[in-house]
């Protein structure tokens, strides 16, 4: 009969198994399958993998449940089988392990971002983990292994859930990059100190990198925590050969590092992606030949990890000219300039000069417009601000960007003098000329949090930057959302995260906008100005397109009828301007500014709409400087 897991670790190091996914893939299971479901549909194959690792010498078998949380199973329409899949996974591993070996209930990340980087609350995350862990405990596991964690907040919620759902020992393993930090920048000293403080029984690392990087990070962790450590590296960095990922670390290399892990303080060693029974056999031989190093008294190093203190953000009114105008209640007017196809921005820069001369306060630059080969919005924004002298509101989306790329872009934007950022998630492109494989590391809520961190002198992992940014943080707001309750809920999250300004989608229905703005008054509370989007239609066909194919925009039947009667040509353009002017006047007392679209680069239309406000042009310039762009 096996003794309690933690008692066994006091006597010797235990060897965990390797990569369940690698073995199932080698047996012909496609990567687009739900591997966790195999506990129900092909239990013998799963059990065979357990037995292969057992025969190689593994003393701890992980359940085939890494992705068996409700959020991940929902991707395969299996959300209603959380208990069934986890229970089966635990029982399969238990059958293979028998009475002598240990079974670890494998718990991976949820696959969604948690607050403050995403919309999933900490309480929701904890409940999702608790549901899975309760089933694993019911199935007879000996410990809970929380692994491959990127976000320390998520690891904490999984640990709390494990304590609520069972009395089993808990191992928490983060995943790191080559420099030892997590993918969102948390250093090993910091997450080791926190996990120690939160009470994890073992603290460790797994996946993402090979043995060398794991060893270096493990050595840093050992300096700040007396807790036992664990290490399950990948079998090196994969190389792609004929479309397959091949891991090149030999069993002997993995075994040599296992010895070093143990000397550093690891009491649970094994492998992750690419690790096969051959690797585990070599690791087991190395562990058997190595006695535990003698216990050494450690000084009180638990506080060695420095706690970064956020800097006080710059006052909003000092962040940009746009911020100052909004704070003073000046009702700024913005106009849109779309980045050009190709690399020649002459027309757009001339258009910006024209808009400045006509009294426009700032221009907004959309990000990823049309999903075609256009100049980047960030580059376009810097060129316009530097060469035309008008301030820019840069639209920046989180789509297809990871957290590190986002931080690099934003720090670069600030260095280039850009001070106003509209944080967006951005929908899937409608007119892409190439196939798309989109991903979202964070959504707009997470993006606002990143901006707020930068404004406080911290990166997303809470590490000090040595300096701070001073961005005016704007967010999108859709008064015509299909689900207004969800829209308001997300807006609340954005405001809590640090938003300073809301910019609406183009609006046409004034009554609907008025009702929506009334509903968000408690959220805005006089602190968050709202800038309304205005879109002057150019024809009935354009109105049809906007109403049916632009996400988040709805054109009322009465407006559609007016554009139908005007039809096309100059008459339709004039009617579109008139509708936009009427809308602007009707919402003038409801919002604090306006953002006007310049359809097809017709900047004169945006100016014509704004003229209904009667604002003077503060920077008169010769008309010839902007005439060609204005009529384009």
Q: From residue 624, give the alpha-carbon distance in Å to each of 310, 486, 617.
A: 49, 48, 16
Helix (H, G, I), strand (E, B) or coil at 94: helix
Q: Residue holding tokens 């054109």?
A: 555
Portion of the chain with pLDDT greater than 90, in percent: 70
Q: Please, how many CA atoms are within 13 Å of residue 107, restricted to the half-sphere of its CB?
A: 34
pLDDT for 105 beyond 80: yes
Cα–Cα distance, 242 to 168 (Å, whole number): 43
Reading the block at residue 295, the tokens are 């216990």
pLDDT of residue 624: 32
Cα–Cα distance, 360 to 381 (Å, whole number): 16
Which DSSP string do the residues of 397-426 spell out, in sequence order?
E-BT--HHHHHHHHHHHHHTT--EEEEE--
Reading the block at residue 250, the tokens are 């030999």
Cα–Cα distance, 69 to 127 (Å, whole number): 10
306-359, pLDDT tens digit by residue? 456 889 999 999 999 999 999 999 999 999 999 998 899 999 999 999 999 999
Cα–Cα distance, 137 to 110 (Å, whole number): 19
Helix (H, G, I), strand (E, B) or coil at 248: coil
Cα–Cα distance, 117 to 120 (Å, whole number): 9
Contact (Cβ atoms closer than 8 angstroms) between residue 137 and residue 130? no
CA nearest 269: which of 281, 287, 296?
287
pLDDT of residue 426: 67
Please state, rounded to an integer, the average pLDDT across all residues of the chain.
Answer: 88
505-550, pLDDT tens digit by residue? 999 999 999 999 999 999 988 889 999 999 999 999 999 988 887 8
Cα–Cα distance, 579 to 212 (Å, whole number): 65
Reading the block at residue 420, the tokens are 């106003």
Query: The whole model's pTM is what?
Result: 0.73
CA nearest 73: which of 104, 111, 42?
111
pLDDT of residue 554: 87
pLDDT band at 119 (very low <50, low <70, confident <90, very high): confident
Fold match between domain 5-288 and domain 321-630: yes
Cα–Cα distance, 182 to 400 (Å, whole number): 19
Parse the chain into domains and list their residue ranges. Answer: 5-288, 321-630
Question: Does the N-terminal peptide bond of residue 575 adopt cis geometry, omega within 30 degrees of 0?
Answer: no
Q: How far apart are the first and last CA of the chain?
A: 83
Contact (Cβ atoms closer than 8 angstroms) between residue 110 and residue 72? yes
Cα–Cα distance, 428 to 527 (Å, whole number): 32
Reduced to 3 DSSP states, what percent helix, strand and coil does the chain have, rounded to the nearest 5? 45, 15, 40
Cα–Cα distance, 353 to 502 (Å, whole number): 26
CATH number for the region 321-630 comes to 3.20.20.220
State how far Cα 184 lies from the chain centre. 9
Reading the block at residue 436, the tokens are 């798309």
Cα–Cα distance, 490 to 492 (Å, whole number): 5
Portion of the chain with pLDDT greater than 70, in percent: 89
Name, in order, each residue with C-beta under 8 angstroms of 452's C-beta and a sequence gap of 6 or more.
Answer: 313, 473, 497, 498
Cα–Cα distance, 604 to 520 (Å, whole number): 33
pLDDT for 392 beyond 90: yes
Q: Please, how many CA atoms are within 13 Å of residue 237, restricted to the half-sphere of its CB?
A: 7
Q: From residue 513, give the alpha-carbon distance in Å to each of 341, 479, 530.
A: 34, 6, 11
pLDDT for 54 beyond 80: yes
Cα–Cα distance, 331 to 255 (Å, whole number): 67
Q: Residue holding tokens 């069972």?
A: 166
* Helix spans in 58-180 (H): 70-73, 82-97, 122-138, 152-165
The yes/no answer on whether domain 5-288 falls in CATH 3.90.180.10 is no
Cα–Cα distance, 23 to 31 (Å, whole number): 12
Contact (Cβ atoms closer than 8 angstroms) between residue 390 and residue 441? no
Radius of gyration of the chain from its Cα atoms, rounded to whole angstroms: 29
pLDDT band at 372 (very low <50, low <70, confident <90, very high): low
425-484, pLDDT tens digit by residue? 865 444 333 344 445 577 888 899 999 999 999 988 778 898 999 999 999 999 988 889
Reading the block at residue 288, the tokens are 């058997």
CA nearest 558: which of 507, 509, 597?
509
pLDDT of residue 448: 93
């Amino acid at each position: 009969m096996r003794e309690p897991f933690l008692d066994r670790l006091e006597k010797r190091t235990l060897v965990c198994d390797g990569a369940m996914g690698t073995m199932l893939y080698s047996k012909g299971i496609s990567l687009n399958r739900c591997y966790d479901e195999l506990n129900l549909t092909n239990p013998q194959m799963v059990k065979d993998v357990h037995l292969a690792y057992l025969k190689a010498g593994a003393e701890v078998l992980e359940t085939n449940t890494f992705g068996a949380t409700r959020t991940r199973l929902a991707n395969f329409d299996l959300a209603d089988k959380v208990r069934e899949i986890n229970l089966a996974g635990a029982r399969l591993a238990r059958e293979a392990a028998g009475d002598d070996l240990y079974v670890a209930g494998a718990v991976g990340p949820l696959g969604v971002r948690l607050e403050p980087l995403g919309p999933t609350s900490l309480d929701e995350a904890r409940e999702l983990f608790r549901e899975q862990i309760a089933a694993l405990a019911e199935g007879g596991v000996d410990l809970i292994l929380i692994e491959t964690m990127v976000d320390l907040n998520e690891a904490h919620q999984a640990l709390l859930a494990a304590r609520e759902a069972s009395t089993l020992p808990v191992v928490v393993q983060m995943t790191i990059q080559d420099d030892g930090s997590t993918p969102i920048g948390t250093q090993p000293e910091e997450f080791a100190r926190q996990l120690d403080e939160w009470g994890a029984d073992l603290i460790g690392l797994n996946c993402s990198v090979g043995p060398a990087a794991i060893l270096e990070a493990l050595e840093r962790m050992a300096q700040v925590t007396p807790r036992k450590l664990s290490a399950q590296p990948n079998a090196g960095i994969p190389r792609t050969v004929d479309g397959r990922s091949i891991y090149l670390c030999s069993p002997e290399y993995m075994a040599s590092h296992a010895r070093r892990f143990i000397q550093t303080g690891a009491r649970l060693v094994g492998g992750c992606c690419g690790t096969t029974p051959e690797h585990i056999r070599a690791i087991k031989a190395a562990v058997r030949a190595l006695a535990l190093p003698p216990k050494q008294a450690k000084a009180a190093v638990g506080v060695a990890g420095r706690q970064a203190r956020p800097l006080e953000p710059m006052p909003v009114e000092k962040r940009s000219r746009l911020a100052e105008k909004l704070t003073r209640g000046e009702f700024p007017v913005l106009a849109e300039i779309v980045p050009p196809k190709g690399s020649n921005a002459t027309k757009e820069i001339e258009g910006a000069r024209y808009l400045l001369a006509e009294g426009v306060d700032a221009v907004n630059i959309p990000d990823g417009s049309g999903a075609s080969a256009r100049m980047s919005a960030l580059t376009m924004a810097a060129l316009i601000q530097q060469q035309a002298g008008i301030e820019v509101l840069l639209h920046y989306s989180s789509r297809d960007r990871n957290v590190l790329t986002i931080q690099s872009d934003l720090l670069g934007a600030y260095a280039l003098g850009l001070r106003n950022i509209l944080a967006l998630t951005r929908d899937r492109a409608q007119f892409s000329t190439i196939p798309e494989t989109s991903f979202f590391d964070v959504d707009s809520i997470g993006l606002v949090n990143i901006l707020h961190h930068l404004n406080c002198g911290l990166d997303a992992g809470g590490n000090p930057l040595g300096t701070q940014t001073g961005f005016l943080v704007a967010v999108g707001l859709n008064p015509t959302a299909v689900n207004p309750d969800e829209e308001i809920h997300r807006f609340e999250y954005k405001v809590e995260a640090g938003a300073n300004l809301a910019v609406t989608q183009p609006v046409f229905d004034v009554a609907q906008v008025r009702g929506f703005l009334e509903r968000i008054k408690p959220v805005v509370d006089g602190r968050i100005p709202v800038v309304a989007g205005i879109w002057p239609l150019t024809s009935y066909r354009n109105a049809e397109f906007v109403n049916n194919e632009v996400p988040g925009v709805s054109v009322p039947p009465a407006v559609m009828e007016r554009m139908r009667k005007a039809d096309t040509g100059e008459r339709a353009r004039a009617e579109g301007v008139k509708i936009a002017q009427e809308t602007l006047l009707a919402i003038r007392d409801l919002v604090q500014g306006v953002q006007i679209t310049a359809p097809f680069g017709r900047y004169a239309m945006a100016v014509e709409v704004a003229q209904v406000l009667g604002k003077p042009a503060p920077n008169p310039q010769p008309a010839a400087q902007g005439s060609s762009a204005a009529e384009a």
